[in-house]
Amino acid sequence: MLSRIQHFIEKNHLLDIHNLYLVGLSGGGDSVALMLILRGLGYQIEAAHCNFKLRGNESDRDENFVRELCKKHSIKLHVIHFDTTEYANLHKVSIEMAARDLRYGYFRQLCKDIGAEGICIAHHRDDAVETLLMNLLRGAGIHGLTGIRPKNDIIVRPLLCLSRAEITEYLDSIGQTYVTDSSNLVDDVLRNKIRLRVLPLLEEIAPGATANIDKTANYLREAEKVYDAEMVQEQIALKADSGEMMISYLFKQPSPSAFLHEWLMPLGFNSSQTEQILGAVNGEPGREFTSPTHTLVIDREKLIVEPISKPMKSIKIPEVGTYRYDESTTYKFEITDEINISKSAGVATVDADKVEFPLTVRPIENGDWFIPFGMTGRKLVSDYLTDRKFTILQKRRQLTLTDASGAIVWLVGCRTDNRFKVSSETTKILRITYKLD
């Protein structure tokens, strides 16, 4: 068995005999076996134990056990106590998620403090199969059906090649005791139900089911490499960081749904949303979807994704001067008798005598109209922007500058209104400069 574990470590490049590693030690059979096996194989290790104060005397029993175990084997132990319930209430997460956050946060910091190369966790083959089945029940994609990875960043799992039964058999063979978390024996959460009820039933129906499911996960991990490589190449071609995708490009992919999922998943969109988006792309222009961090809009021939931005605001401009619109934008208003018409998109020049203060910088509103410079007839701002191929999100960000009468003087960065144009009769110019810091 030790040879199998060493081969698994070498095959997956998990550990280096010359480096120090931290072992997460709960006191349960899996973590006890992991610590003793790594020590037996000659790896440099220190142990870390978290007391979450969730099981009363049982929590203290676990801590005392690992202290005695590490003392017996001369392994340095780090112990920390957490008020897990308070953390869960403060961050509005489940107790299970709170314990996970606290545990891994502590392990990562401790790794840095002691100069450890990685964190060894005692997940085994049965854990990987349980995870696969949980993800399968939740409707996960290919990445969720690959079980638990042998290595994820600095977290390594050297026992994934073993079953729970093999670990127990190893501990019995060396006469090593361990503690049992009583909460793992109650089928109150999904993982426990799969562990205590589903996997035994599968083994009864098809002996070797757990090992075969794990083999399938290994095959899927290999297929995942091909899948990811293809997705990366397509994303490079797409230039996904531009935040736009032509709908025609999407439907040229072998699997539009998979491609859309991979594009949007890192931006916080879930699989249910990607299905809805895919169903709406050909018939619902203007429909909008949001994730916790981004907004997606179906805009005519393409999908547009942008980070969620703060709502646009209005500011009053009582007189000439420099005004800050937000943390990154300023407007400068100055009057000059130097008749010099601007050709820059960031600078507008209008007849100062035709403009009445106070001015207002504000977002566009329904029904807004103006007379574009060089034209004589009115045009709705929304139609003008549509003609200019503005997307829905660009329209939402478009600002106008209006005078005291409410007339649009300047569609900021685009075009001034013909009613305020500089003419041969102009004696003073109002110069407006729009600047991004």
Residue list, annotated binding site for ATP: 26-31
Q: Which residues contribute to the annotated binding site? A: 26-31
Closest CA to 243 of 259, 264, 218: 264
3-state secondary structure of 280: helix
CB 51, CB 193: distance < 8 Å? no
Q: What is the DSSP string of 86-149?
A: HHHHHHT--HHHHHHHHHHHHHHHHHHHHT-SEEE----HHHHHHHHHHHHHTT--GGGGS---
Residues in the chain: 437
Q: Is the dihedral of CA 217, 219, 224, 227 positive or negative?
A: negative
Residues 6 or more apart from 207 whose CB is under 8 A from it?
Answer: none
Distance separating alpha carbons of residues 298 and 295, to the nearest angstrom: 10
* Inter-CA distances, 420 with 115, 150, 331, 337, Å: 69, 69, 18, 16
**Ramachandran angles phi, psi of 121, nearest 5°:** -115, 145
Count of beta carbons in the 10 Å neighbourhood of residue 335? 13
The answer to whether the bond into 358 is cis (omega within 30° of 0) is yes
CB 352, CB 403: distance < 8 Å? no
Task: Tell how many helices (H) and how many strands (E) occur in the chain.
Answer: 15, 21
CA angle 416, 401, 357 (to 5 degrees): 110
Count of beta carbons in the 10 Å neighbourhood of residue 46? 19
CB 277, CB 257: distance < 8 Å? no
